[in-house]
Structures are given as structure tokens and as C-alpha cells.
Structure 1
Amino acid sequence: MNWLPIKNKEQLDAALEESAGTPVVIFKHSTSCSISATVKSRLERQWDSAGLDDVKPYYLDLLSYRPVSNEIAEVLQVRHESPQLLLVQDGVCTYNASHMGISADALKKKLNA
């Protein structure tokens, strides 16, 4: 798994534009939260075996880039949570999960639905 960072609005806009042709996930991570660290590690371990090669994974350190996190919540019309995984297709959040509900298998099921 190769995370692509989101650190500013321009990178967020580029990820949303990219979602028109490729599914994009945005993982909002709190670097001070042990649950968030556990979920991130689990997702990374599951990613390759889940067959999600066509999905672009983006990562947001929401403590360092809180304004970008707020922008994501506003633009995608999702309530902010942490950790949070958002699936974006054609600029729209089609699935979101938080805390221990985040898994590569659940994401794959949503993509194949």
C-alpha cells in the first residue's frame, strides 16, 4: 500500500478530480489516537490481499491539517470522525466508515456492490 498525502486544498481537489476515473479512498488519521493507529495498521496489512489495486489511497494527518479535514467534511457532506475512511467516486462520497468498522474487505464489498 502506498499512501498519497493530502496536505492542502489543492491536493484534495486533485484527488476529487481523480475520482472521476478511479475510485479514491481518503483515510483521515489522528496521529495521537491509538485506535486510529491500530485501524491504519490493520488496513495496510489487509490492502494488498484484498485486491484493491485499482483504488488510489490518500492519507490525511488531521491533526496537522485540520482545515483540510474540515474541507473534506464540507465538500463531501460527511460528518467528521477519526479515524475515518471515505470512498470517493465521481467526486461523491459513496461510502464511509469509522473506527473499528474500517476494513479492506468492507471497502471491497462496497466497490463490487
Structure 2
Amino acid sequence: MNFFKTLGNIFSNQGREEELTSSESGWNRVSSEKEVDEIILSSNHKTQVLYKHSTRCATSFFALQNLKSISEEKIKKTDFYLIDVIGQRNIAGYISQQLHVRHESPQVLILRDGKVVWHGSHHMVQTDNVVRYL
């Protein structure tokens, strides 16, 4: 397999959606604007993490790989959600509108008590930064 085909497979959507949202990974998929509203409400009882991910972006790929190193202990105490910004543009935009945070990708938003307590994008999307606010 040549280099460009390998690179294309790494960043393609093929089979990755299931990997990203499998029960072992701790990530849940957001499927509607109503669900976004429920996540915001749930942040009054438990910390919520929204991760906006692009399957076409190398920075997103490496950010997600980094976030996968969050400990099981932290994962159990927090709800994690993944939004595919390519396939779910409307949901990604709705999140930005509801939470008053400019849309970027990759981007993490950490919610507590109905508000964003931390958000970061691009190279700020790192386990150390996220864990600080969980």
C-alpha cells in the first residue's frame, strides 16, 4: 500500500465511527439538538464533555488519540460525547449557538451547572488540559 493510500485510510470515515463510539471507548454519539439540550441539563448533576471531531483533519485525529488516554476513573465520573463535525454540521453549529462558544474543530467543551467551564481547540485539546477540569 502506498503512502498516500495509507494516509487516506487513517483519516477516512471508513469503519471509524463505530470505533469512536464503541461502549469500551466511553464516548457517546450525539444525534439531535434535543439531545444537546439534555446534555446541557445533565451538566447540573454530572460533568459533561463534548468533543467536536473531524474525520478529515490530522489535528483531530491526533487530538482524539490523545484523549483516549483519559483514565477509566475519570471516564466513569463524566459523560463524554463525540460530534462528527462533517456528518453532523447542524448539531455542531447548534452547540456553538447554545453555549456561546465559536465553533472550531477539533474542540472540547466541558460543561458543569449548565455552563462551559473550559473549552479548547486545536493543540489545546490534550488530556492534561481536559483532566484539569473534570
Using structure 1 for the length normalisation, give the TM-score. Answer: 0.89
- Aligned partner of residue 78 in structure 1, secondary structure: coil
In structure 1, stretches of 5+ residues that fail to align are none
1:15 counterpart residue number:
39
| Larger radius of gyration between Structure 1 and Structure 2 | 2
User: Which of the residues 25, 28, 36 maps onto 2:60?
Assistant: 36
> 1:49 deviation in Å?
6.3
2:119 counterpart residue number:
96
8 Å contact kept, 1:50–1:105: no
How many positions carry a matched residue from both structures? 110
In structure 2, stretches of 5+ residues that fail to align are 1-24
8 Å contact kept, 1:28–1:61: yes
User: What's the CA shift string for 1:25-69, capped at 9, x where partnerless?
Assistant: 00000111111011111111x211674431111100011110111
Moved over 6 A (4+): none
- Partner Cα separation in structure 2 for residue 10 and residue 66 of structure 1: 15
8 Å contact kept, 2:70–2:131: no
The root-mean-square deviation of aligned C-alpha atoms, in Å, is 1.5
- Partner Cα separation in structure 2 for residue 48 and residue 4 of structure 1: 16
User: What's the CA shift string for 1:73-97, capped at 9, x where partnerless?
Assistant: 0110001110000001111111001
Q: Does the alignment pair 1:83 with 2:106?
A: yes
1:57 counterpart residue number:
80
User: Which structure has more RCO (C-alpha within 8 Å, separation ≥ 6)?
Assistant: 1
